[in-house]
C-alpha cells in the first residue's frame, strides 16, 4: 500500500497534472484535496491535450476511482462543463467519480465579490483568477458556507442563500455600487448542475478510509504550489487554501500517519503567475526565452507567467516544510541550448548572506539572489526516456540539485506528453 501526496514545490504550474496522470495507473484512488477551478492541470497523451480544473488528473489513465474531497471549493457549473467534456472524449465517470458531500460550493456572489474586491484594491491587487475561490473559503471559515450536501435539499439551500444575501447585497449596493442578487436567480442557475452532480455526492472520507483498511493505493493531488500556501507561503500573495502535505490530510480526511510518500514537483527553473515576491525573476531576454520555450502561459487564465532561474533556497524550505522524500523534475527539456544555467544557492538580505527562506514580506521582496553557475548542454533532450542517454552536464545539473536538497529525483520529465518521461 502507498499513500502518496503529489504537491507543487514552487508557486504552482510545476506540471503536477502530468505526473498524477502518469502515476494514476497504479492507484486505486486519485484524490483532489484543495483549491478550486483556479487550478489548471494540463495533460497530454496520444493526440489529446486536456486541461482539468476540478476533476482529478487520474481520470484518463487506469481505472482508479477519482475523488473531489472535502477541502476543495466547487463551482457546480464549471464542474458540470468539465464532466461533459470528459464524456465527449468517451471516458466514463460512472461508478468511479465521487464528490465529497462536505466540500463547499462556489456561488455567483463569490465570483462577483472576488472581482469587485480585486478591482477596488487597484495597484495592491493580489492577482486572483476572479473565480470566487477566496470568498468561498471566507464563507467556509465564517461558518456561512454552503456545502454540496445542501444542494440536495432546495428548502435548506434557499434558506441559506437568503440569509447570506442579507449581508452580501448590503455590501454590493452600498460599498461596491453593484446591483443586488436574488435567491431565485441563483437557484435557477444551479438547477441543471444539481441534477447532474447529485449521483456523485457522497461521504468520501468514509470511502477513503475503506481504501486504507483494504491497503489500497491512494494518490493525493494538490493544486497550486507550496509557496502559495495561505499559512506558509509569501503572504498575502498566496492562494486561499493549503497546497502543502498537511493540507492533504485536512482536505481529504486521511490521517497524517497514513501517508507513505510526499512527492514534490519542481520545474528546472521557476515561474510565478500574478503578483508577489519572486527573488530569481528574470526581466531580461533570458526570462523571455524561458517563457517562450516553456510555453509559460496560465492554463486557467492565459496570463503570461513570470520566469526565472531555479531557486534552491525556496525549494529547500518547501522540502523541509512538507517532509518531501521524493522529487520530480519537470520541463528539463526547456533548458536545452543554454550555455550556462544558474541556480540560486543563497540570498543576501540587508548585506548578510543566508540560506534560510524569509517569511517576512518586506525581507523577501528585497532579497538579492546569489547564484551558482552550471554548464548547460547543446543537444536536445526532448522526449528522452533513458537516464543514460542524457548529456553528462544535464546529469550533473540534476545531481547538484539533489545534493543541495538532500532528496533524490524519481521522475524526470523531458516533454509535455505522458511518455516523455524518465522514471528512475
Radius of gyration of the chain (CA): 22
**Which is nearest to 36 in space by CA: 92, 106, 96, 110?**
106
- Strand locations in 78-194, DSSP E? 97-100, 104-105
Q: Is 333 a catalytic residue?
A: no
Taking the C-alpha atoms of residue 38 and residue 165, their distance in angstroms, rounded to an integer, is 24
Taking the C-alpha atoms of residue 198 and residue 287, their distance in angstroms, rounded to an integer, is 46
Q: Is 41 a catalytic residue?
A: yes
Region of 423 (left: φ > 0; alpha: ψ -120 to 50; beta: rest) is: beta
**Which is nearest to 52 in space by CA: 25, 81, 29?**
81
Catalytic residue among 13, 21, 65, 114: 13
Catalytic residue among 28, 41, 110, 229: 41
- The three grid cell numbers given for residue 289, joined into one nine-digit string: 526565452
Query: Buried b / exposed e across 90-99, counting CB within 10 Å, b at 16+?
Result: eeebeebbbb
Contact 46, 79 (CB under 8 A): no
To the nearest 10 degrees (0 to 180), the angle between helices 183-197 and 154-174 is: 140
Region of 383 (left: φ > 0; alpha: ψ -120 to 50; beta: rest) is: left
> What CA dihedral angle connects 161, 167, 172 and 175, to 10 degrees?
-170
Taking the C-alpha atoms of residue 424 and residue 416, their distance in angstroms, rounded to an integer, is 18
Taking the C-alpha atoms of residue 241 and residue 188, their distance in angstroms, rounded to an integer, is 29
Taking the C-alpha atoms of residue 230 and residue 242, their distance in angstroms, rounded to an integer, is 6
**Contacts (Cβ under 8 Å, ≥6 apart) of 332:** 268, 381, 394, 398, 412, 413, 414
- The three grid cell numbers given for residue 178, joined into one nine-digit string: 453593484
Contact 327, 408 (CB under 8 A): yes
Look up cell 460512472; give the residue: 94
Is the torsion defined by CA of 248, 118, 296, 80 positive or negative?
positive
Look up cell 497546497; give the residue: 243
- The three grid cell numbers given for residue 338, joined into one nine-digit string: 543554454
Q: Catalytic positions, please?
A: 13, 41
Amino acid at each position: 500500500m502507498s499513500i502518496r501526496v503529489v504537491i507543487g514545490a514552487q508557486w504552482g504550474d510545476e506540471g503536477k497534472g502530468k505526473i498524477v496522470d502518469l502515476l494514476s495507473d497504479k492507484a486505486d484512488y486519485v484524490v483532489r484535496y484543495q483549491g478550486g477551478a483556479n487550478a489548471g492541470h494540463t495533460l497530454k497523451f496520444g493526440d489529446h491535450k486536456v486541461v482539468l480544473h476540478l476533476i482529478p488528473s487520474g481520470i484518463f489513465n487506469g481505472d482508479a476511482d477519482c475523488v473531489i474531497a472535502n477541502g476543495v471549493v466547487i463551482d457546480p457549473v464549471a464542474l458540470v462543463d468539465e464532466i461533459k467534456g470528459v464524456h465527449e472524449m468517451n471516458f466514463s465517470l460512472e461508478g468511479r467519480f465521487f464528490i465529497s458531500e462536505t466540500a463547499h460550493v462556489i456561488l455567483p456572489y463569490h465570483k462577483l465579490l472576488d472581482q469587485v474586491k480585486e478591482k477596488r484594491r487597484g495597484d495592491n491587487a493580489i492577482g486572483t483568477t476572479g473565480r470566487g475561490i477566496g470568498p468561498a473559503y471566507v464563507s467556509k471559515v465564517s461558518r456561512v458556507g454552503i456545502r454540496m450536501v445542501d444542494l440536495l435539499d432546495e428548502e435548506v439551500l434557499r434558506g441559506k442563500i437568503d440569509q447570506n444575501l442579507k449581508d452580501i447585497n448590503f455590501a454590493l449596493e452600498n460599498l461596491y455600487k453593484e446591483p443586488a442578487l436574488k435567491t431565485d436567480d441563483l437557484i435557477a442557475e444551479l438547477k441543471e448542475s444539481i441534477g447532474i452532480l447529485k449521483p456523485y455526492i457522497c461521504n468520501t472520507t468514509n470511502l477513503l478510509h475503506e481504501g486504507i483498511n483494504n491497503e489500497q493505493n491512494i494518490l493525493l493531488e494538490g493544486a497550486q504550489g507550496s509557496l502559495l500556501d495561505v499559512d506558509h507561503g509569501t503572504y498575502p500573495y498566496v492562494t486561499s487554501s493549503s497546497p502543502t502535505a498537511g493540507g492533504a490530510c485536512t482536505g481529504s480526511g486521511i490521517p497524517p500517519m497514513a501517508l507513505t510518500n510526499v512527492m514534490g514537483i519542481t520545474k528546472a527553473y521557476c515561474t510565478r503567475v500574478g503578483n508577489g515576491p519572486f527573488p530569481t525573476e528574470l526581466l531580461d531576454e533570458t526570462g523571455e526565452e524561458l517563457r517562450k520555450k516553456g510555453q509559460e502561459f496560465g492554463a486557467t487564465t492565459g496570463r503570461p507567467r513570470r520566469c526565472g532561474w531555479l531557486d534552491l533556497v525556496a525549494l529547500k524550505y518547501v522540502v523541509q516544510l512538507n517532509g518531501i522524500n521524493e522529487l520530480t523534475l519537470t520541463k528539463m527539456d526547456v533548458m536545452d541550448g543554454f550555455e550556462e544555467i544558474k541556480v540560486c544557492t543563497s540570498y543576501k538580505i540587508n548585506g548578510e548572506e543566508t540560506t534560510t527562506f524569509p517569511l517576512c514580506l518586506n525581507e523577501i521582496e528585497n532579497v538579492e539572489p546569489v547564484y551558482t553557475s552550471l554548464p548547460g548542454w547543446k543537444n536536445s533532450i526532448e522526449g528522452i526516456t533513458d537516464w543514460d542517454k542524457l548529456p553528462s552536464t544535464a546529469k550533473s545539473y540534476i545531481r547538484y540539485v539533489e545534493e543541495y536538497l538532500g532528496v533524490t529525483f524519481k521522475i524526470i520529465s523531458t516533454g509535455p506528453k505522458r511518455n516523455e518521461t524518465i522514471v528512475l
